[in-house]
Amino acid sequence: DAGVTQSPTHLIKTRGQQVTLRCSPKSGHDTVSWYQQALGQGPQFIFQYYEEEERQRGNFPDRFSGHQFPNYSSELNVNALLLGDSALYLCASSPMLTNTEAFFGQGTRLTVV
Amino acid sequence: GNSVTQMEGPVTLSEEAFLTINCTYTATGYPSLFWYVQYPGEGLQLLLKATKADDKGSNKGFEATYRKETTSFHLEKGSVQVSDSAVYFCALSGAVQGAQKLVFGQGTRLTINP
């Protein structure tokens, strides 16, 4: 079992650009959540996808959007990047219909310059 | 809204010392509580969890008890090792069942010296 996989592992972008991050959930998991972890801080919930729809959303602007595919994989898109978007982006997967803990990927380190 | 407050770090201990990392929470209803660990350059790993009051979660010598009366979930270990050096996050989920939206504390960096 490959667990939760994220790509790329590191990324450098320029202010104003757009970025797409990818996540493949653990086998058997149908729900994907995204978190932003700024340096020295705890992860902050961005949003959650289930059945290809956004089900819950945290306090993030519309510049942050996502998508879930029929195979349960997911993308996080961020438009008009700001320096403050530099962070570790974590993907977590879990099954929706059972009370099972979330499993996290290794994360994508995004640096905006 | 739901929130988690953790003991501020960094915490530095000698090997075989006793560890306590304090965690308190604010939540409506009866959340599930978690401790996650993050090793350098890695994502989060679940260390232990408790889903109802008075439950004790335990794993790898770490323990934490869900105390509803004090809204706390303090992490303890009787004898730490160098390999326990990492950042520890306390978290809660308000979901009774199903996929979790986690609310994290700010993390506590733990360093164990030989």
pLDDT tens for A27-47 read 989 999 999 999 989 999 999
A23 in contact with B, Cβ within 8 Å: no
Mark which residues 89-108 of A lie under 8 Å from B by CB: 90, 92, 94-99, 101-107
Say which amino acid occupies B74: H
Residue whose tokens read 């050096």: B85
Query: B27-78 pLDDT, tens per residue?
Result: 988 889 999 999 988 889 999 999 889 999 999 999 999 999 999 999 999 9
Element (H, E) at A58: none
Q: What is the widest separation between alpha-carbon atoms in chain A? A: 41
* Binary contact (A33, B95; C-beta < 8 A): no
Write down the pLDDT at residue B1: 82
Please state the length of chain B. Answer: 114
Chain B hits for A102, CB-CB cut-off 8 Å, are: 46, 99-100, 102
* Binary contact (A48, B95; C-beta < 8 A): no
Residue A12 C-alpha, separation from nearest chain B C-alpha, in angstroms:
17
Distance of CA B93 to the CA centre of its chain: 13
Is residue A111 very low, low, confident or very high in pLDDT (cuts 50, 70, 90)?
A: very high
Q: Give the residue from A35, A78, A92, A42 showing the smallest Cα distance to A59.
A: A35
Between strands B32-38 and B44-50, the pairing is antiparallel
User: What residues have CB less than 8 Å from B51, skipping those under 6 apart?
Assistant: A99, B32, B33, B66
Q: Phi first, then psi: what are they for A93, rounded to 5°? A: -125, 155
A31 in contact with B, Cβ within 8 Å: yes
